[in-house]
Amino acid sequence: MSYCDTCVVRNRAICSSLDNTEIQSLNAIGRRRMLEPGEPLIWEGDDSVLVANVIEGVLKLSSSTADGREQIVGVVFPSDFIGRPFGKTTPHSVTALTEAKVCVFSRSDFDGFASRHPALEHKLLKRTLSELDRTRSWMLLLARKSAEEKIATFLLEMSERLVAPGCEAPGDEPLDSFDLPFSRQQVADVLGLTIETVSRQLTKLKKEGILELPARRTIVIRDRTALEDIAG
Q: For residues 47 and 77, is the Cβ–Cβ distance under 8 A?
A: no
Q: What is the pLDDT of residues 190-225, one digit of tens each?
A: 888 999 999 999 999 999 999 999 998 999 999 999
Q: What is the pLDDT of residues 26-63, one digit of tens each?
A: 888 989 999 999 999 999 988 889 999 999 999 998 88
Q: Which CATH number fits domain 147-231: 1.20.58.60, 1.10.10.10, 3.40.50.300, 3.10.580.10?
A: 1.10.10.10
Residue 232 pLDDT exceeds 90 = no
pLDDT at 83 exceeding the cut of 90: no
Phi first, then psi, for residue 47 (nearest 5°) are: -60, 140
Amino acid at 22: E
CATH fold for domain 4-136: Jelly Rolls (2.60.120)
**What residue spans define the domains of the chain?**
4-136, 147-231
- The secondary structure of residue 163, as a DSSP letter, is P
Could you give the CA distance from residue 48 to residue 175 in angstroms, rounded to a whole number? 35
Q: 0.85 cut: is pTM over it?
A: no
Topology alike, domains 4-136 and 147-231: no
Predicted local confidence at residue 222, as pLDDT: 97
- Taking only the tens place, the pLDDT of each residue in 109-151 is 988 988 888 888 888 888 777 777 777 776 776 777 899 999 9
Query: Residue 62 forms beta bridges with which residues?
Result: 72, 93
Band the pLDDT of 167: cuts 50, 70, 90: very low
10 HSE (CA, 13 A, CB side): 15
pLDDT above 90 for 9: no
In percent, how much of the chain has pLDDT > 90? Answer: 40
Would you state the pLDDT for residue 203?
A: 96
> Phi/psi of residue 15, each to 5°?
-75, 0
Average pLDDT in the chain: 86
User: Does the CA dihedral 137-221-192-46 come out positive or negative?
Assistant: negative
- Taking alpha carbons only, the member of 102, 65, 66 closest to residue 82 is 102
What ranges make up the beta strands (E) of 36-80? 40-42, 50-56, 59-64, 70-76
